[in-house]
Amino acid sequence: MEPRWSYKSNVWPDWCPGCGNFGILTALLKALEELSLDPSQTVIVSGIGCSGKTPHFVNVNGVHTLHGRAIPFATGIKLANPGLKVIVHGGDGDLLGIGAGHFVALGRRNIDVTVILHDNGVYGLTKGQASPTLPLKARTKSLAKPNIQQPVNPVLLALSSGYTFVARGYAFDGAYLKNLIKMAVQHRGAAFIDVLQPCITFNDVYTADFYRKAVYKLESDPGWDPVVKTSEEASVKLMRAVEKSLEWGDRIPVGVFYVNPHVSTFEERLGERLRKYPVQNPSNTPIESAGKPVLSQEAFEKMFKEFIVRVSGTQGR
Ligand SMILES: Cc1ncc(C[n+]2csc(CCOP(=O)(O)OP(=O)(O)O)c2C)c(N)n1
Ligand code: SF4
């Protein structure tokens, strides 16, 4: 069947030939097509970096934001219009360096947003500095001396931050990555995919050859089942996922580490506190009518006074 929409934009991807970002983009385009997501109801949000260019190459709504700020933008978009599908693309410098606090906050809140990490171990756009996922003592060709910092483990950080869908893929296994993206986007809650992405220009340690030898699929163990069936088994499944997340080196697992569909989303919790939120949220609340703000000056002042917090010692002023 012909796809309903064409998701590939006319902007030419200017990544280096052979970059793993191409694999991620292709998998994303295929996933959008197979899910037949309405482009007008889908938003891709990125930060800065080579990975940050992704929204330009996809024919859905897109925002290319500031370094480390893709998740706050995505949070605002989703909470203003909970009906949208929101997907974040970011590099490991973007999401786990300058944006690390926001990365944790999204998991803690379990907002229904998918985060796709282009994990290349370097700051690609700024010419190969060591990024948060490069191991201690690793020395890529762009570093004058071996890396002096400990790495962050993205899967472990996502699990401990509260993401309710956590997976890892590999940029050059497109069919497999496409399925992970589909599952993550369909998951209700904060979803995370760590994508191993060769940067052929600056990282000669984590090459396609390195990954080809090391990567194996979690489900090759017939006993592997990452899905939490009842809330009671959540901690057991989480601990198994944590254990697997520590595996790195000669053998690197890819696949779904953990899925917990039993946790409420931030949007649902907001709806319990603000009863009108599910039907009347910022996206469908008129703010102007016939060129005038809907809220009159008097109504604004009344509302403003209502929410003033009186601080003790100010004698009621
Ligand atoms: C506040 C701020 N600091 C620094 C920069 C410079 N800068 C641009 S891209 C980038 C790093 C991108 O690395 P990463 O997020 O790993 O993405 P990649 O390019 O590897 O995809 C940096 C530090 C910036 N744009 N804004
Ligand atoms: S610098 Fe690295 S990450 Fe950036 S486009 Fe080139 S190969 Fe890809």
Q: Which domains does the chain have, with CATH numbers?
A: 20-269 (3.40.50.970)
Q: Among all chains, which residue has been given the structure tokens 């599908």?
A: 85
User: What is the rounded CA–CA span in Å between residue 227 and residue 225?
Assistant: 6
CA of 24 from ligand 1 middle (Å) equals 19
Ligand 1 neighbours by CB, cut-off 6 Å: 48-51, 67, 91-94, 118, 120, 122-126, 131
- Based on the number of CB atoms within 10 Å of its own CB, is 152 exposed (0-12), middle (13-18) or buried (19 or more)? middle
φ/ψ region of 118 (left if φ > 0, alpha if ψ in -120 to 50, else beta) reads beta
The pLDDT, as a whole number, for residue 314 is 57
Q: Whose CA is nearest to atom 25 of ligand 1?
A: 67
Q: Which ligand has an atom closest to residue 22 CA?
A: 2
Q: Which ligand has an atom closest to residue 197 CA?
A: 2
The pLDDT, as a whole number, for residue 294 is 87
The pLDDT, as a whole number, for residue 307 is 78
The pLDDT, as a whole number, for residue 156 is 98
The pLDDT, as a whole number, for residue 230 is 94
Q: Which atom of ligand 1 is nearest to the CA of 49?
A: 19
DSSP assignment, residue 181? Answer: H
Ligand 2 neighbours by CB, cut-off 6 Å: 15-16, 19, 21, 50, 120, 124, 199-202
3-state secondary structure of 211: helix
The pLDDT, as a whole number, for residue 313 is 64
Q: Kindly list the strands in the beta sheet with 191-196, ordered across the sheet, starting from the edge strand earlier in the chain.
A: 61-64, 42-46, 85-91, 114-119, 191-196, 165-170, 252-259, 215-217
Ligand 1 pocket, mutate which of 14, 67, 71, 120 (most atoms under 8 A from CB): 67
Q: Whose CA is nearest to atom 11 of ligand 1?
A: 123
CA of 122 from ligand 1 middle (Å) equals 10
Q: Which ligand has an atom closest to residue 127 CA?
A: 2
- C-alpha to C-alpha distances, 286 to 186, 289, 293, 301, nearest whole angstrom: 30, 7, 9, 19
Q: Whose CA is nearest to atom 4 of ligand 1?
A: 67
- What is the full per-residue pLDDT of the chain (317 aa) written as tens digits? 788 999 999 999 999 999 999 999 999 999 999 999 999 999 999 999 999 999 999 999 999 999 999 999 999 999 999 999 999 999 999 999 999 999 999 999 999 999 999 999 999 999 999 999 999 999 999 999 999 999 999 999 999 999 999 999 999 999 999 999 999 999 999 999 999 999 999 999 999 999 999 999 999 999 999 999 998 999 999 999 999 999 999 999 999 999 999 999 999 999 999 999 999 999 998 888 888 888 888 888 888 888 777 666 655 45
First to last CA, the chain: 68
297 backbone dihedrals φ, ψ, rounded to 5°: -55, -45
Ligand 1 pocket, mutate which of 126, 142, 196 (most atoms under 8 A from CB): 126
Tokens of 154: 């993205």
The pLDDT, as a whole number, for residue 305 is 85
